Structures are given as C-alpha cells and as structure tokens.
Amino acid sequence: MTSCGFYSYHGTPFHEVQYVCAAGQALLAHVKEPRVYNNRTGCESVKVGLFTREFPPQVYGGAGVHVDYLSRELAKKIAVEVHCWGPQNSDEGNLHVRGAKPWEEITIGTEGKFKTALEALSLNLTQVRSLTDIDIVHTHTWYMAMAGYFAKKLYNVPFVLTTHSLEPLRGWKAEQLGSGYAMSSWMERTAILDADAIVAVSEGTKADILRVYPDVKAERIHVIYNGIDLAEYQKTLETRALTEYGVDPSIPFILFVGRNTRQKGVTYLVDAIRHLPPETQVVLCAGAPDTPEIAAELRQKVEDARRHHPHIVWIEKMLTKQETIQLYSHARVFCCPSVYEPFGIINLEAMACRAPVVATATGGIKEVVVDGETGYLVPLDQDPVTSFPVDPERFAWDLAAGINRLLEDPGKCRRFGDAGRRRVEETFGWTAIAQQTTRLYEQLIQRSPARVRT
C-alpha cells in the first residue's frame, strides 16, 4: 500500500490518487531558487505558518475560535502567517493573514457531496505554493492537514498538527460529505502519521489518537488545552440580545450554543424538554446545520416539543460574540449534550461568564467541567461505532435530571458559576497555552537540521 492511497473508515484501501502526489511534487517548481536557512535561535525570531479552514470573520466552530485566539497570542512573541479559507488579507504587527479560495473548477463544476473534500485538498495545494521564510508549519483540522504534509516535504520544515476531532470517530460525517468522508479520513490519516508533533486538545483526545492510529508513538503527542480570553468572556448585565431574540430576562432559561450537527446532540436536549418545568425557557442557539435533512429533523422536534412546552426560543443564526456572552451571562443553566467532544470550548465560554454547566461525561468535557463543583456531568452509554446513545430516552431523561437539580437551587447555580470562573482563570488562559505552543515549536526547530529548500 502506498502513502498516497485512500483509506475507508475501516482502514482498507479505497482508491489510489497518485495525481495528488504528482501535484505536490509539481509545486517544487514554484520555489524559484535553492535556499538554505540556518536554524534560528530565540523564540522571537521564529515564524510559524498556521493553516486553518476558519478564521474571522468566517468562524463557525471551536477550531476557528481556537486559531483566532492562539494566533493573536502567538503574535505577541513571534511572527505568525495564517493561511485560511476565505477572502481575508491583512497585516497587523506580527500577524499576517492570507485567505484563498478552492479551485474554481471544483467549486463551480462539482455537485456531489464530496465537493467539500475536493475543495479542501485543492486549497491545501494552493496554499503551500509560496511559503516565505517559514520555520515551522502548524495545521488545524483535517481540512488543512495535507498542507502541513506537503509543506514538510517541499520546504523541509517541521510539521505540527492539532487535532480538534478524529474522522474515524465521526462516522456521521458521511451524511454531510458522502463518499468524500473516505477522502477526509485519508487526508487526516496521511497527515497525522507524518506529523513531527501532534497536539491533542485533551488527555481524552490523546487516548483516542493512540487507539485509532496505533502506529503513532505516544511521545509524538503533546496535550495542550484550548483556552479562553478572560478579559473578553466575562459576565455582563447587558440584556439587549435577549430582548432582540425574544428571550424574557425575567424567566429562568436553559441555554444551548452550538452548530446543528449530530455531534453536538441538540436533539437530545429537545427530547429532554418534556421532563423540564413547563414555565422554563429553553434557548437554542443552533445554526449552521450540516445538511438540510438535519435542519428539518430539528425543526420537527422543536415543533413537537412546543405543543407541550411553549417557551422554546430557537435562534437559527450564528450570533456575535457579544450576543453570545449576554446569553451565557443570564442563563440559569448552560447545557452541552454533545455525543463527541474532544475538548468543548463552548463550556469554557459559559463557565467564564459564570454559567453553571450540565454536560455529557464524554471526551475532553470531563477535563473541563468538574462534576459537583462547576456543574454536573451526565453519564452516556455510547455505541462504540457511532458514539450515539445506546438508549436515547435514558440520555434525555438524565440531561433533564441534571438541569432540574440546578433549576431547583438558585444558590447552587451561583456557587457553581463562581467556581467555573475560578477554574477557567486558573487553568485555561491563552497566555499559558501560547507559551506551551511556542516551546513545542522551539524544540522541533532545534532538533531539525539546517533546512535546504529547492
């Protein structure tokens, strides 16, 4: 089997794509002259190339939030060049942002669900054509993983890969990507096996990597948590966003914030509504559905729930940061019913705004939410292949039970909220996370020989 073969979900060869390797090698022609760069010393002289699908203003998930804040914090000490999917193009101090678009032949001429995977690979190829004076590359999510793979081969620089999720553990992505799911899995596998260092966003994610990719050596994996901007995410008295979206500030409400995907489990929270007090508001900030079918499914569930519980507010758009902070700040309880969550940055945001959390006891959530101190962790018996609940009714009931325990005790809500803020301040500040990241960069650069670029 060649390193250029597709792999299916089960790891068997799917299709040979030798043209990808040929395209990557062809990019050598874009580097005009052989150049030798001696290893630099000192953190301040390092220049990193960050590769991400999401970057402001086009952010829809936790990975985009992560790269946004990490890049700005890194830029306080080193040069950062962000390569993203979009029209962005800016230079501000040490932070340089370069957006690009997928190949037009794919964007305009492709109708299948696999279009997104093809677009991602085309963008990976485009963005490694001209990396100037980059000392190290750092990719985020499968969308940009192959950019790191190609850059390492073409420019002889160390390759760091942060995994915010793992494709083999997200079988439901086939619903969104169709046969492109085999391609996204191949891209992730190829890159993760080749990366010089893998950043796992939690200890749980590290364990998942070792289980899913047994060829990866444990010493290549470094656990560096996601973070939070402590100055930006703070409890506020402002309620303008609540009234604008039809939320009554005088009535306690349960809050969900996240994309409308199988992974985020919002349908289980809707199923739990029938077990909540009828006077309680439930606010669902659930936009960006993976597919039209998923959007229709949630719509039907919300309509059914409203027949017996009319106080449901569904906000079907991605809110601004300021609007979301207002909702966090006034929520009686924040609920995270995810079935798969390598970290769960959304819980950090809620805790920073002093909202008590009821969340699934899965993945990295268990390393963020302290059961009985900052919220309640809800047990979940999961199918080992799909990650979905074995007993969805039981899971919905358990979610409601955790929420009701807090609704019945406003004093405990305040104590949990204060404890959550303290935990975030003590453990999840971006300054410490950026320092851990730059130390990793330095270690890899120092271990690499003088780099010859041809």
How large is the average pLDDT for residues 152-172?
Answer: 93
| DSSP-based three-state secondary structure for 80 | strand
Q: What is the 3-state secondary structure (H, E, C) of 149-189?
A: HHHHHHHCCCEEEEECCCHHHCCCHHHHHCCHHHHHHHHHH
Q: Which two tokens stand for residue 123?
A: 């963008």
What pLDDT is attached to residue 148?
Answer: 98
Higher-confidence residue of 189 and 14: namely 189
Q: CA-CA distance, 441 to 174, in Å (whole number)? A: 34
User: Rounded to an integer, what is the distance from CA 208 to the centroid of its chain?
Assistant: 16
* Rounded (5°) CA angle 254-260-264: 70
Euclidean distance between CA atoms 339 and 362, whole angstroms? 7
Separation of alpha carbons 310 and 313, rounded Å: 9
Question: Would you say residue 50 has pLDDT above 70?
Answer: yes
Mean pLDDT, the chain, integer: 90
Residue 24 lies in a domain: no
The pLDDT tens digits for 273-298 are 999 999 999 999 999 898 999 999 99
Tens-digit pLDDT profile for residues 209-250: 999 999 999 999 999 999 999 999 999 999 999 999 999 999
Same domain (yes/no): 189, 304: no
Q: What percent of the chain has pLDDT over 70?
A: 89
Mean pLDDT confidence for 95-105: 95
- pLDDT, average across residues 371-398: 95
Contact 395, 267 (CB under 8 A): no
Q: CA triplet 53, 57, 61: central angle to 5 degrees? A: 50
* Statement to judge: residues 248 and 336 lie in one domain: yes
Calculate mean pLDDT across residues 36-40: 42
Q: Which domain holds residue 148?
A: 29-227+431-453
pLDDT score for 132: 81
In whole angstroms, give the CA distance from residue 299 to residue 266. 11
pLDDT of residue 450: 58
* Coil, strand or helix at 318: coil
Co-location of 180 and 208 in the same domain:
yes
Residues 222 and 244 in one domain: no
Phi, psi dihedrals of residue 261, rounded to the nearest 5°: -135, 165
Residue 233 lies in a domain: no
Listed in sequence order, the residues at least 6 apart from 98 whose beta carbon sits closer than 8 Å to its beta carbon are 81, 82, 83, 84, 88, 89, 127
State whether the Cα torsion 206-212-216-218 is positive or negative. positive
CA distance 145 to 188: 6
Asked whether the predicted pLDDT for residue 253 surpasses 90, the reply is: yes
Q: What's the domain count of the chain? A: 2
pTM: 0.84
Nearby residues of 15 by Cβ (< 8 Å), 6 or more positions away: 5, 6, 182
pLDDT of residue 36 exceeding 80? no
What mean pLDDT do residues 159-168 have? 95
Helices (H) and strands (E) in the chain, counts: 16, 18
The reply to whether 23 falls in a domain is no
Strand locations in 18-116 (E)? 35-37, 47-51, 79-85, 89-92, 95-100
Does one domain contain both 264 and 394?
yes
**192 and 306 housed in the same domain:** no
Does 445 share its domain with 400? no
Residue 323 placed within a domain: yes
* Domain assignment of residue 420, yes or no: yes
Is there a single domain that holds both residue 81 and residue 146? yes
Same domain, 204 and 301: no
Structure tokens at 443: 């270690």
Q: What is the CATH number of the domain that holds 162?
A: 3.40.50.2000
- Identify whether residues 50 and 128 lie together within a single domain: yes
Q: Residues 401-449: pLDDT tens digits?
A: 999 999 999 999 999 999 999 999 999 999 999 999 999 999 999 998 7
Give the Cα separation of 17 and 40 in Å (integer). 37
Confidence of residue 171 (pLDDT cuts 50, 70, 90): confident
pLDDT at 451: 55
Q: What is the 3-state secondary structure (H, E, C) of 93-123?
A: CCEEEEEECCCHHHHHHCCCCCHHHHHHHHH
Mean pLDDT of 201-210: 96
Sorted by sequence, the CB contacts under 8 Å of residue 335 that are 6+ apart come out as 254, 255, 256, 269, 357, 358, 359, 399, 403
Which residues are within 8 A (CB) of 317 and not within 5 positions of it... i.e. 6 or more apart?
287
Domain match, 369 and 445 both: no
Domain presence at residue 299: yes
pLDDT on residue 429: 92
- Does residue 8 lie in a domain region? no
The reply to whether 443 and 358 lie within a common domain is no
Tell whether 193 is covered by a domain.
yes
Q: What is the mean pLDDT of residues 188-202?
A: 98
